[in-house]
């Protein structure tokens, strides 16, 4: 252990004394202090604070990733490049210890930089919010919507899958009866059509009728601040083109498990404009023992149906943790991304020369990001079985091997006040770092330990 700590200390000191560290620190400070001043949102406090968090954290992560990539590949190669490694390896120290010592020192250095940046950003955000000319109302909005950790719970539409299957079977039976034969292509198109029909019909509320929405898995202690967010679409395309923004009267009711009756939500009876998001605060005591909340929307319009896009809304926002807690979670996720890059940089830096290592790690990260992007576009709400295609196979393969760095991006969640779930942190740590990265690290450390380094003393 003594050797490990010695290497760790020497590398850490060398790094902190280097110009690279000082330059990166200066850049980071410039970024966290300067960027919030330069950014201009849409003119509201909400947008300014959101952009400040989003952009600054993204820039901080980018600078740190770039710095780690460069530093780790340099540090692992510097002894060899300067023909000094024999001075280290002739001592009774294993190469694994050398590797680990360097790895931890790089990680600690950059974690320190991350900590400084995030601490300064936290102060800057609060300073900007409180010292600017924003009204109290605007500030409250920022505290309620951004500087918080809200969990989002979507309406439970698991029954939709069964409904879709039922509709599909009925359609097939009807076609069989009429003797119509479907080609594979027609079948695919028909499935899509029935999927959209099921989806649209499930979100439709006819005039004078109501539609029920169920929200599950709500924690009992999160009763005080639950916000319902939704938007409706009024009528059909003809109406939308005829009127500037069609409206429909409607009201929300919430199920009270004690009285077993639906009660009106205060302030919910109004004319709702099509395609505009609304938010309502739910009253306390609306949760059943199993953590379920039931809501229903009553369409009070006389002749027009309204539609919910049920994969998107209605949704409940529940404040679970304060902002600082969520901020620390974001810190942990960014730290995990630093672990990933430091590991990759050190591993490949130990095996390859500096330029090859840098290019390989950069390529690894870019491919990871692209593969993740491709997968996102192929998902659907009902998870209809897709036909196997070359692109999908390739994406699956890439994703099984490569770690997408974009999975570690939490700036959007943090800047939207959305809770960074513990399960997400666990997923990143276990599946991406332990299961995917560590085997690669072990392999590279093994190669590094077996590598013939005697040649480098020749000069």
Partner 1 sequence: MKKIYNKILLLIIIIITLFCIYKIELKLNKIRKEKKLVESSVVYNAPPIIAFTTVALGGFRGIIADILWLRASLLQTQGKYFEMVQLASWISKLQPGFTGSTTFFAWNMAYNISVTFANPKDKYRWVENGLNLLIDAIKNTPNKIGLYSETAWLYLHKFGYVYDSSYKYYRYRLAKSMFKVTGTWHPDWKAYADIPENKEDMMLLLENKYNVKDTDISTFKLLEHLEKHDDLPDNFKSNLKSDKAANSVELFLRKMRLKNNFYMEPEKILKINSTLGLLDWNLWQAHAIYWLFNAPQKPLPKNREFVSFLFLALKQTLKNGKLLLFDKDNYKAIYTGPNLGIIKKSSEFLKRNILETEHKELYKQKYKIFIEEAIIQLFASGEFQQAEKLLKIIKKIYPEDKIYQNGLRSFINKAIPFKFFLHDKTAISALIKRNLKLSNIYKYRNDFKHSNGRRNFALFLYEAYNSSSPDDKLKSFYKFQKAAKVQKIEKYLIEH
Q: Which residues bind partner 1 (CB under 8 A)?
A: 39-44, 46-47, 50-51, 54, 244-245, 273, 275-277
User: Minimal CA–CA distance to 23: which of 12, 15, 33, 35?
Assistant: 15
Whichever of 191 and 281 has its CB closer to partner 1, that residue is 281
Q: Which residues pair with 254 in a beta bridge?
A: 263, 295
- Residue-wise DSSP of 326-375: HHHHHHHHHHHHHHHHHHHHHHHHHHS-HHHHHHHHHHHHHHHHHHHHHH
Instruction: Work out how close the CB of 244 gets to partner 1 at its nearest, in angstroms, rounded to a whole number.
Output: 5
The secondary element (H helix, E strand) that includes residue 390 is helix 390-401
Whichever of 248 and 338 has its CB closer to partner 1, that residue is 248
- What is the DSSP pairing of strand 148-154 with strand 293-299? unpaired
Query: 386: exposed, middle or buried (C-beta count within 10 Å: 0-12, 13-18, 19+)?
Result: exposed
Instruction: Work out how close the CB of 241 gets to partner 1 at its nearest, in angstroms, rounded to a whole number.
Output: 13
- Residue-wise DSSP of 7-57: HHHHHHHHHHHSHHHHHHHHHHHHHHHHHHHH---SSSHHHHHHHHHHHHH
Whichever of 47 and 210 has its CB closer to partner 1, that residue is 47
Instruction: Work out how close the CB of 413 gets to partner 1 at its nearest, in angstroms, rounded to a whole number.
Output: 13
Whichever of 161 and 229 has its CB closer to partner 1, that residue is 229
Instruction: Work out how close the CB of 280 gets to partner 1 at its nearest, in angstroms, rounded to a whole number.
Output: 14
Whichever of 41 and 208 has its CB closer to partner 1, that residue is 41
Rounded to whole angstroms, the Cα distance separating 371 from 394 reads: 8
Instruction: Work out how close the CB of 316 gets to partner 1 at its nearest, in angstroms, rounded to a whole number.
Output: 18
Whichever of 127 and 277 has its CB closer to partner 1, that residue is 277
Phi/psi at 156 (5° precision):
-75, 110
Angle, CA 458 vertex, CA 452 and CA 459 arms, to 5°: 135
Instruction: Work out how close the CB of 248 gets to partner 1 at its nearest, in angstroms, rounded to a whole number.
Output: 13
Q: Which residues pair with 456 in a beta bridge?
A: none
Instruction: Work out how close the CB of 357 gets to partner 1 at its nearest, in angstroms, rounded to a whole number.
Output: 25
Phi/psi at 358 (5° precision):
-60, -45
Q: Which residues pair with 249 in a beta bridge?
A: 271
Alpha-helical segments (H) within 203-287: 237-242
Whichever of 46 and 348 has its CB closer to partner 1, that residue is 46
- Token output for 285: 């005591």
Whichever of 50 and 151 has its CB closer to partner 1, that residue is 50
Instruction: Work out how close the CB of 245 gets to partner 1 at its nearest, in angstroms, rounded to a whole number.
Output: 7
């Amino acid at each position: 252990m003594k050797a490990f700590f010695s290497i760790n200390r020497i590398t850490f000191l060398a790094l902190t004394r280097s110009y690279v560290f000082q330059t990166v620190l200066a850049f980071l400070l410039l970024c966290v202090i300067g960027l919030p001043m330069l950014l201009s949102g849409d003119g509201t406090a909400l947008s300014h604070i959101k952009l400040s968090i989003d952009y600054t954290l993204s820039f901080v992560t980018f600078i740190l990733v770039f710095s780690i990539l460069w530093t780790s590949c340099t540090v692992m190669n510097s002894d060899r490049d300067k023909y000094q490694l024999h001075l280290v390896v002739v001592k009774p120290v294993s190469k694994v210890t050398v590797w680990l010592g360097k790895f931890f020192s790089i990680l600690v250095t950059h974690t320190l930089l991350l900590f400084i940046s995030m601490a300064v950003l936290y102060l800057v955000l609060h300073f900007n919010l409180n010292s600017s000319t924003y009204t109290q109302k605007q500030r409250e909005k920022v505290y309620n919507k951004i500087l918080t950790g809200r969990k989002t719970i979507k309406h439970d539409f698991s029954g939709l899958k069964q409904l879709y299957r039922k509709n599909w079977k009925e359609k097939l039976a009807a076609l069989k009866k009429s003797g119509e034969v479907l080609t594979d292509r027609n079948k695919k198109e028909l499935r899509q059509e029935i999927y959209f029909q099921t989806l649209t019909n499930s979100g439709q509320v006819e005039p004078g009728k109501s539609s029920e929405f169920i929200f599950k898995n709500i924690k009992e202690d999160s009763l005080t601040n639950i916000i319902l967010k939704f938007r409706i679409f009024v009528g059909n395309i003809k109406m939308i083109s005829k009127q500037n923004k069609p409206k429909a009267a409607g009201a929300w009711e919430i199920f009270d498990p004690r009285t077993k009756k639906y009660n009106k939500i205060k302030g919910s009876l109004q004319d709702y404009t099509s395609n505009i998001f609304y938010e309502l605060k739910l009253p306390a005591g609306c949760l059943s023992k199993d953590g379920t909340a039931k809501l229903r929307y009553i369409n009070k319009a006389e002749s027009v149906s309204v539609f919910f896009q049920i994969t998107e809304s209605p949704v409940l926002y529940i404040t679970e943790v304060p902002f600082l807690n969520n901020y620390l979670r974001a810190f942990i996720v960014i730290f995990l991304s630093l672990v990933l890059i430091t590991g990759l940089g050190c591993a490949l830096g130990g095996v390859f020369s500096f330029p090859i290592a840098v290019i390989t790690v950069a390529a690894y990260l870019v491919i990871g990001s692209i593969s993740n992007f491709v997968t996102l576009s192929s998902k659907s709400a009902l998870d209809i079985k897709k036909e196997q295609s070359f692109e999908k196979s390739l994406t699956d393969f890439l994703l099984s091997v490569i770690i997408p760095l974009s999975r570690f991006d939490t700036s959007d969640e943090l800047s939207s006040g959305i809770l960074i779930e513990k399960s997400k942190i666990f997923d990143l740590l276990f599946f991406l770092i332990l299961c995917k990265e560590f085997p690669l690290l072990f392999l590279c450390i093994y190669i590094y330990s077996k590598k013939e380094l005697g040649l480098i003393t020749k000069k």
